Structure 1
Amino acid sequence: MSASATPTAQLPPAILLLGPTASGKTMAAIEIARRFPVELISVDSAQVFRGMDIGTAKPDAATLAAFPHRLIDLISPEESYSAARFRVDALAAMAAATMRGRVPLLVGGTMLYFKALCEGLAELPAADPATRARIDDEAATRGWPALHAELAAVDPATAARLHSTDAQRIQRALEVFRLSGQPLSRLIAASRQAAPPYRLLAIGLVPSERAVLHRRIAERFDAMLAAGLEGEVESLRARYRLHGGLPSMRCVGYRQVWEVQNGLAPRSQLRDRGIYASRQLAKRQITWLGNSLRPQVIDCLAPDLPGSLDRLLGPFLD
């Protein structure tokens, strides 16, 4: 997974622990930390927000005191955080851990962040409203299949993976080409030369029974509501200037509470909507694991999960 000229065996080790929501990633990471000299680094786009503790399943103060996690509580809910900023912060945290003689253990469920870390990020032109408006006008006149054919002429690799009516992605690919003169596929391929200078072991915690994961998701959301998730959102609203478009308030759980508190959804539906959104998130995360990140998979429901982790990590860290 490294593009470095340094032989892989000479690179320092780092561990990636990925999995869907409610798969037990934090507990597994702590078990690893009890057994191996690791330093925990969070890979969670919601846990970066200060004050958002209940709905993000952030480790409690006692756990963080015993097992510190880097990249938690970085910004206020009024701010935004990006995959690009995560990559910079994560590489810095990894380097610091290595300098201290520890092995970076990156744990979380934000799959885009893992992908950005491992493959780099394409330097794409920013969205341009005028260019997008022209593409929309052309689509209204000619239709998206015609624009898809135009994309195929300048960027066949991108066009091949898009349906001829996938308006949002066709528009973005044409926008990138018109602004940069470069196919989107070429820019993305160039970004993949920036793998981190580490010997990586990626472990995916994936449930063997989806129904059990769904039950865990429901139980966890019920626990969040019982712990005061609605009150947490009320407190955040009193402390910060928030609106529904902020990344913090679009996080699963927070979005559903926000909609209830703003009269956009009945409170009687809060539990079902929150559980459904969590299930959809888990489905997307599992898809990422299978189609893009491709870690070594361990059943997170296995009774001997610590033993399975030991059998992978022992030889890797030896």
Structure 2
Amino acid sequence: MSPLTETGVGRPAAILIAGPTASGKSALALALASGFGGTVVNTDSMQVYADLRRLSARPMPDEESRAPHRLYGTVDGAVNYSVGAFSREAGGILGEIEAEGRLPIFVGGTGLYFRALEEGLSNLPTVPEAVREAVRGRAEGRCTEDLHAELASLDPAGAQTLRPSDRMRVMRAIEVFEATGRPIADFQGQRRAGPLAGRPLLRFFLSVDRDELRRRIDARFVSMLEEGALDEVEALRARRLDPMLPVMRAHGVPGLIAHLDGTISRDEAIARGQGDTRRYAKRQHTWFRHQMGDDWIWTDPDSAFRIAVERLSAPGGR
């Protein structure tokens, strides 16, 4: 069966390009957007932050000039940007892109963002900022296992579903209980459909040889530093933001801050950033393999481009 037959004939409402970091996603998205009147929409939880263009491998200005790009560098690092915020913004942007007659191309490495586009989200309540700050204040200086024990006293069933080491999710469950007086599970069964639910889609996961991906990751991290990533982290460090914020936990940031603080060498910071990124790439691969459906095409960037061109050039395509 040919790739064209496997993916179904007809015009896709959008193209989804996922894959591990350094797999060639952005280049593929830009090539398709340039050739077929597309708009590239960021689907990566770190590239949304304005503070880290270099370290998050955001498209550069010359690349952004070749096709419209949305949701890149639009959020300040002090904001705890969430998958819910992404889903809401992506839905609005999707309507604008379609009104312009352009092809939406969602590209990134954050699996939960892609899931939200189709399957939607649990209808979790908004936690007031005062409650969030109070929970974080109590958590400061406490180990995650202690926080997990606190959650178990509030929501025993919810605590059993979370690893005692998963600090962010444990704190989120505490926040929801503090804000509503109800377990987080009460809300997780209530879902609202995602903005791409029920639409014909062309979905790619870029799979690259493991040794080649490792080489790319290591080389790119060094290039990032040569191109100004350390200056970005130094500016971020000067802001003295909450270390639990997503931007402060971006791959490379903790190690480079430690280097700026004088506690580790530059080479040690590079090795730490490279190692963190390699491990993240492995988790991305595993997550998509087990969490997403069979309608994703696992392939290399060149084959993905060929398949997409076939679909978009076919009768009824663009």
Please give the alpha-carbon distance, in whole angstroms, between the structure 2 residues aligned to 1:271 and 1:225. 9
Kindly provide the amino acid, as one letter, of the partner of residue 53 in structure 1: R
Residues 244 and 190 of structure 1, relative CA distance in 2, 3 Å threshold: closer
Residues 61 and 292 of structure 1, relative CA distance in 2, 3 Å threshold: same
- Measured after TM superposition, the shift of residue 23 of structure 1 is 0.8
Name the counterpart of 1:113.
113
Please give the alpha-carbon distance, in whole angstroms, between the structure 2 residues aligned to 1:242 and 1:260. 17
Name the counterpart of 1:311.
310
Task: Between 48-57 and 307-316, report the one with greater CA deviation.
Answer: 307-316
- Measured after TM superposition, the shift of residue 13 of structure 1 is 1.3
- Measured after TM superposition, the shift of residue 24 of structure 1 is 0.6
Please report the TM-score for the alignment, with normalisation by the length of structure 1. 0.75
Unaligned runs of 5+ in 1: 1-10
For 1:66, what is the secondary structure of its paired residue? coil
Name the counterpart of 1:61.
61
1:233 and 1:258 in contact (8 A); partners too:
yes
Name the counterpart of 1:77.
77
1:38 and 1:102 in contact (8 A); partners too:
yes
Please give the alpha-carbon distance, in whole angstroms, between the structure 2 residues aligned to 1:85 and 1:253. 24
Alignment of 1:76-95 (within 5 A): 76-95=76-95
Task: Between 224-233 and 90-99, report the one with greater CA deviation.
Answer: 224-233
Kindly provide the amino acid, as one letter, of the partner of residue 91 in structure 2: L
Deviations 1:73-114 (A, max 9, x none): 213333332222111111111000011111221111122222
Deviations 1:7-60 (A, max 9, x none): xxxx98122211110011110101211332321111122222224221111111
Name the counterpart of 2:7.
none
Kindly provide the amino acid, as one letter, of the partner of residue 282 in structure 2: K
Task: Between 266-275 and 166-175, report the one with greater CA deviation.
Answer: 166-175
Alignment of 1:1-318 (within 5 A): 13-118=13-118, 119-124=120-125, 126=127, 129=135, 151=157, 184-185=184-185, 187-191=187-191, 193-196=192-195, 199-237=199-237, 240-242=239-241, 244-294=243-293, 295-300=295-300, 303-314=302-313, 318=317
Name the counterpart of 1:6.
none
Please give the alpha-carbon distance, in whole angstroms, between the structure 2 residues aligned to 1:72 and 1:175. 28
Deviations 1:237-276 (A, max 9, x none): 45x4545443222111222211211234332311211111
Deviations 1:128-169 (A, max 9, x none): 85xx99x969959xxx8x999x63xxx8xx96x668x77867
Name the counterpart of 2:142.
none
1:15 and 1:200 in contact (8 A); partners too:
no
- Measured after TM superposition, the shift of residue 66 of structure 1 is 1.5
Kindly provide the amino acid, as one letter, of the partner of residue 87 in structure 1: S
Percent identity among equivalent residues? 32
Residues 34 and 275 of structure 1, relative CA distance in 2, 3 Å threshold: same
1:12 and 1:98 in contact (8 A); partners too:
no
Please report the TM-score for the alignment, with normalisation by the length of structure 2. 0.75
1:147 and 1:170 in contact (8 A); partners too:
no
Please give the alpha-carbon distance, in whole angstroms, between the structure 1 residues aligned to 2:311 and 2:65. 27
Please give the alpha-carbon distance, in whole angstroms, between the structure 2 residues aligned to 1:246 and 1:180. 23
- Measured after TM superposition, the shift of residue 171 of structure 1 is 9.0
Please give the alpha-carbon distance, in whole angstroms, between the structure 2 residues aligned to 1:175 and 1:30. 40
Please give the alpha-carbon distance, in whole angstroms, between the structure 2 residues aligned to 1:271 and 1:280. 14
For 1:63, what is the secondary structure of its paired residue? helix
Residues 210 and 147 of structure 1, relative CA distance in 2, 3 Å threshold: farther
Q: How many residues align?
A: 292
- Measured after TM superposition, the shift of residue 228 of structure 1 is 2.5
Unaligned runs of 5+ in 2: 1-10, 140-144
Kindly provide the amino acid, as one letter, of the partner of residue 259 in structure 2: V
Kindly provide the amino acid, as one letter, of the partner of residue 273 in structure 1: R
Deviations 1:160-215 (A, max 9, x none): x668x778678977996898686655532321x42325514252333252222111
